[in-house]
Structure 1
Amino acid sequence: MLLAKLCQIVFCLKLTLQKAPSPALLPCCDRLFNSAEECAHLWRRLGWDYNVVQASEGPLHGRLRVDHQNGILLVSMQANQALLIEGTRHPRWLSFTIEHTDNYSDHRHFGEALAPNALSGFNIKMKESLLKTSAGGNRIGAVLVDRSRIDVWSELMGAAEIFDRMERNNTAILSPAAHRKLRQLMVLPPWQGMDVPHPFQADLLEAQLIESLSSKNSTLLRPVVKTHHSDLVQELVRYSFRSSTTPISLSSVCQTLFTTKTTLTVSCREMFGCGPIALMRRIRLQQVRDVLANPDLRQQLGCHTVQQVAVHFGFVSRNHFASAYRELFGEAPRTTLLASH
């Protein structure tokens, strides 16, 4: 009964929002990616300013799909390796996120472990994202709701309690049944080629989200408290991407970030599982891979050989570079280069 009533309210909400002209909507997107940099490029094309870091070793294979319907975006990102995603949330869309595979043992959100049956990311006031997924295969699903819809939820539904929860919290622990219903409505269609549209039940999905956030179906955890450690990891990731061609020095990094070696090392290991120098090298390695796989980037940089690209990103020792590259990506750098021709 409650869900049927919510579906009627969502239908009224859709009619209300259709009275005003809508800005341009994102197209359907269904793409495969084989590197963290490719994943980041896809997110940026869709309007999200994300940095992505491969956090576990081995060849990376992933897929990012986005469908749009009735002011709702249904997003799915899957990967066989752990990824660290850092950046700024899109100002237009509010995200409701779940893990579909139950592989959340190493998931971290601003350094906090992910709990079973969690629905996350819906805090109205947060502007940043910091998420690390688990290795071994994972799929993050997200329903992105236009903020203009959220603003009128309480007006049409009298849902002041839900709106208040979304202002104060960022994670809800759902009942197993409510979590299962959401997962069923967010099924990822089989790969059929790039950008093939697939319909989904947007109205029912929105109604299920509203019902899931009610006190009947969820218990709210404390809001995400951005700690000094999570802030440092964010700053380190951003600094690493900005300064990927300068010499690596832990002392200079600490000086730039106004912190100590101990604090930075502990913060990085908590979130990422390795020290800051290892994280910075990993980011440089994936940038090397991006250039080796892209002839246009090599032309822009004037770097046409493996050695030239490696030196550009600060790798002086050919043997150490080749070994680290092979360990992270599961192939030799020359293999990546030859495959791009």
Structure 2
Amino acid sequence: MRSKDYRQEHLEKVIRLSLHQPCRWSAPFKSATELASHLKRLGKTFEAIQLSQGRLSGRFSYANFDSITILEISSNQCLLLNGDRGPDCMSFCLESSGVADEHKTHTLPVPKYSINGFKSNLRESHFQLTANTTTYFAITSANKINTILDLHNAEALKEQFLNCNSAQITPSKHNKLKILLEEAISDSTTDHFTRQQTGNTIIKHFLDFFASTKEIDCYPFELTQRQLLVKDFIQLGFNRGSEKLNLDSISKQLYCSRRTLIQGTKDAFEMGPMELMKIIRLEQVNWMLRSEEARSKATLRNVTDIAQHFNFYSRGHFARAYQNLFEESPSQTLQENGT
């Protein structure tokens, strides 16, 4: 009875990404930054990078169930999303197949058939998505989860959410959660009470799975300085991509040695920091070529202007690098996006 009363009292206090968001919406994306723009529409700020080579084709879907929000991201390319979850945010991440070999959280490979990203006191967000996969994110309020656990005297589970960020479950349980999230994201019901009930059911399933200690292995996690360094490096690349930066100046701005920075990016991405910086700048060029609004805001009109704005001064080198990553020429991207 007490739990029922709590749900009624908490009705207007649960997390909402935006009070003005519809129950559900879905949109394609053809660049990593376009995916980031969809997330920004929900109040989440991320830097996004395409890591694998080829034309990107993806879809982003969103469904709001009042107490929990479900996101679905499908992509044919390997993507990296880097940002902050924000206050009072807790998420449960599930890759649909359970065996994606390039999925990572904070540069660490995720276990097979696992739930990830649920550490309740973690503000930073850094995850990599494998090409040709679909990933679900169930986002809710950390305070809401803690209140539920307090009501049920589940101190051990509360402690587990504080100390761990990944949990391996059985393939059958993984499949049940996948089906639950698939059905939720496809649910076209607009009735408010029904959607509340669906949200409460999803939260209950996740908590029940974690409570089954015999069929789940949780992995302790604490952010290291090197993981934070990689996150800060990517953020710096997007914030200062138009500036002339070299390894020494970047190391100085990040308060680290050249060696530490090189080792950090090589461990995470199997490439040095300047190669990763080039990919970040190519991503920024790609978005500028796709977005007439971005070009207008930066007062840039053509491929040469945009390339030089992001410090690509050799036309041949730039064109080859862009073609190798996106499998189309810069002028082709520009022409296909309304110019």
Common fold by TM > 0.5: yes
Partner residue, 1:15: 8
Whole-angstrom distance in 2 between the partners of 1:247 and 1:20: 46
State yes or no: 1:245 paired with 2:242: yes
Deviation at 1:103, TM superposition (A): 4.3
Q: For residue 52 of structure 2, what is the amino acid of its counterpart? A: S
Judging changes above 3 Å, is the alpha-carbon distance between structure 1 residues 209 and 11 closer, same or farther for their aligned structure 2 residues?
Answer: farther
1:163 to 152, 158, 167: 158
Partner residue, 2:286: 289
Q: For residue 218 of structure 1, what is the amino acid of its counterpart? A: I
- Is the partner of 1:141 in helix, strand or coil? strand
2:297 to 278, 300, 318: 300
Deviation at 1:139, TM superposition (A): 1.6
On the 8 A contact 1:103/1:134 being kept in 2, the answer is no
On the 8 A contact 1:76/1:188 being kept in 2, the answer is no
Whole-angstrom distance in 1 between the partners of 2:190 and 2:265: 40
Partner residue, 1:68: 64
Q: For residue 305 of structure 1, what is the amino acid of its counterpart? A: N
1:174 to 169, 187, 208: 169
State yes or no: 1:211 paired with 2:208: yes
1:271 to 246, 268, 272: 268
Whole-angstrom distance in 1 between the partners of 2:83 and 2:27: 21
Alignment of 1:1-341 (within 5 A): 13-18=6-11, 25=19, 26-27=21-22, 28-135=24-131, 137-187=132-182, 201-214=198-211, 215-222=213-220, 224-341=221-338
Q: Which runs of 5+ in 1 are unaligned?
A: 1-7
- Is the partner of 2:182 in helix, strand or coil? coil
Whole-angstrom distance in 2 between the partners of 1:239 and 1:44: 18
Deviation at 1:177, TM superposition (A): 2.5
Deviation at 1:35, TM superposition (A): 0.4
Whole-angstrom distance in 2 between the partners of 1:340 and 1:261: 39
Partner residue, 1:4: none
On the 8 A contact 1:108/1:271 being kept in 2, the answer is no
On the 8 A contact 1:100/1:139 being kept in 2, the answer is yes
Deviation at 1:106, TM superposition (A): 1.9
Tell me how many residue pairs correspond in the alignment.
330
Partner residue, 1:3: none
- Is the partner of 1:262 in helix, strand or coil? helix
Deviates more, 1:180-189 or 1:38-47: 180-189
- Is the partner of 1:187 in helix, strand or coil? helix
On the 8 A contact 1:117/1:175 being kept in 2, the answer is yes
Whole-angstrom distance in 1 between the partners of 2:323 and 2:215: 47
On the 8 A contact 1:211/1:217 being kept in 2, the answer is no
Judging changes above 3 Å, is the alpha-carbon distance between structure 1 residues 10 and 52 closer, same or farther for their aligned structure 2 residues?
Answer: farther
- Is the partner of 2:297 in helix, strand or coil? helix
**1:64-110 CA distance string (max 9 Å, x none):** 11101141111111111111111111324310111112342122212
On the 8 A contact 1:123/1:166 being kept in 2, the answer is yes
Whole-angstrom distance in 1 between the partners of 2:172 and 2:166: 17
Deviation at 1:18, TM superposition (A): 2.5
Judging changes above 3 Å, is the alpha-carbon distance between structure 1 residues 310 and 228 closer, same or farther for their aligned structure 2 residues?
Answer: same
- Is the partner of 1:331 in helix, strand or coil? coil
Q: For residue 84 of structure 1, what is the amino acid of its counterpart? A: L
Q: TM-score, normalised by structure 2?
A: 0.89
Deviation at 1:10, TM superposition (A): 6.9
Whole-angstrom distance in 1 between the partners of 2:290 and 2:152: 51
